[in-house]
Amino acid sequence: AQTVTQSQPEMSVQEAETVTLSCTYDTSESDYYLFWYKQPPSRQMILVIRQEAYKQQNATENRFSVNFQKAAKSFSLKISDSQLGDAAMYFCAYSLLSGNTPLVFGKGTRLSVIA
Amino acid sequence: EAGVTQFPSHSVIEKGQTVTLRCDPISGHDNLYWYRRVMGKEIKFLLHFVKESKQDESGMPNNRFLAERTGGTYSTLKVQPAELEDSGVYFCASSSLRQGLGTDTQYFGPGTRLTVL
């Protein structure tokens, strides 16, 4: 079975600084998807970024980028120029490549942004 | 376009009572998923509908949980009778149906926080 591990329950970052959230996963599949979701306080969970395992290039979305190390089964999220609005719970998730499959989540990392 | 909505946002019930949670997916999304997060734990998959059919219910904890999606639109998740360990946040997500390989983004609702006393 696939598992996702987020080893940092809580992290904090100064406004405008950079922070990296860690995620490792375990799977016997060679192709799959990885995701980072963000859940701000009392708000809906939204997709931040996704990575297809068959793509070697790391995904980026504005200030958010990932460091995908397939051999190490590592998928970290880097947030550059942190803003107060980045404060949220961040969940790393995995899904199979075949369509319409459920997500497997980690426990989440709570990120605080200090002004 | 309206997002995924869930009702109620909070529910506090006594052990042994019944509670029904509702999820309205994004219009046109054939995939509907239910997940649950118990405090401090991972978000766990419960079940998956494709239109009105249960595609995968391997995550359902036991037969006290009953999910339906009549007509392939909104879905309900009933817990009867509720137990203390059922407390948690229940999330619903929806996505477009993809044929073959590939996956579309799952859009999540705000969740229903269930507290069983």
| pLDDT above 90 (res B101) | no
- What is the structure's pLDDT at A43? 81
Which 3 state secondary structure label does DSSP give B34? Answer: strand
Read off the pLDDT band of B113 (50, 70, 90). very high
Whether B81 contacts B18, CB under 8 Å: yes
**pLDDT score, position B112:** 96
Is the pLDDT confidence value at A56 over 90?
Answer: no
CA distance A112 to A13: 6
pLDDT higher than 90, residue B103: no
How confident is the model over B58-79, as pLDDT tens digits? 999 999 999 999 888 999 999 9
CA distance A8 to chain B (A): 12
Region for residue B88 given its phi and psi (left: phi exceeds 0; alpha: psi -120 to 50; beta: otherwise): left
pLDDT at residue number B2: 78
Instruction: Tell me which chain A residues have a C-beta less than 8 angstroms from the C-beta of B113.
Output: none
Question: Contact, B37 vs B114, CB < 8 A?
Answer: no
Q: List all residues of chain A from 17 to 76 with a beta carbon under 8 Å from chain B.
A: 33, 37, 42-47, 50
